[in-house]
Structure 1
Amino acid sequence: MKQRQEISKLSVDDLKKQVSSETERLAKMKLGHKVTPLENPLQIRDVRKHIARLNTELRKREIQA
């Protein structure tokens, strides 16, 4: 819940920057996991969910505007 409150405080530009950086991070994690397995592969799921939360907040603001 704390993470959602932090996301709602961000500006639209900050949200877009975070989405792009997290998407890049996810791609690197997936590639790295295929080469050498991650110690904790559940991190991939967490990053994917974080991206979804950011996109949800962006969409919510788009609808309100």
Structure 2
Amino acid sequence: MRQSEVKEFSVEELHEELENHKRKLADLKMTHVLSPLDDPSEIKKVRRSIARIATEITKRELD
């Protein structure tokens, strides 16, 4: 998810997306422990999306 996409969400949508991405990250990690993922860089992409969303939430709370 790109930063430009994150900026379009409302605060409630950002919180929902954050929870969804955290759940997806946990699932990816568990799957990777049991058997290697086809694309292990997916974990990195999801972690970065979580960071982008969390940063946008913090930025909006400070404004």
Runs of 4+ that moved beyond 2 A: none
Corresponding position of 2:40? 41
Corresponding position of 1:13? 12
Stretches of structure 2 lacking an aligned partner (at least 5 in a row): none
Give deviations 1:24-46, integer Å, cap 9, x for gaps.
00000000000010011110000
| Residues 18-37 of structure 1: pairs in structure 2 closer than 5 A | 18-37=17-36
CA RMSD of aligned residues (A): 1.1
Partner AA of 1:33 in structure 2? H
Give the TM-score of the pair, scaled to structure 1.
0.93
Partner AA of 2:62 in structure 1? I
Identical-residue share of aligned pairs (%): 35
> Whole-Å Cα distance in 2 between the matches of residues 8 and 27 of structure 1?
24
> Whole-Å Cα distance in 2 between the matches of residues 5 and 44 of structure 1?
21
> Whole-Å Cα distance in 2 between the matches of residues 6 and 46 of structure 1?
15
Aligned residues: 63
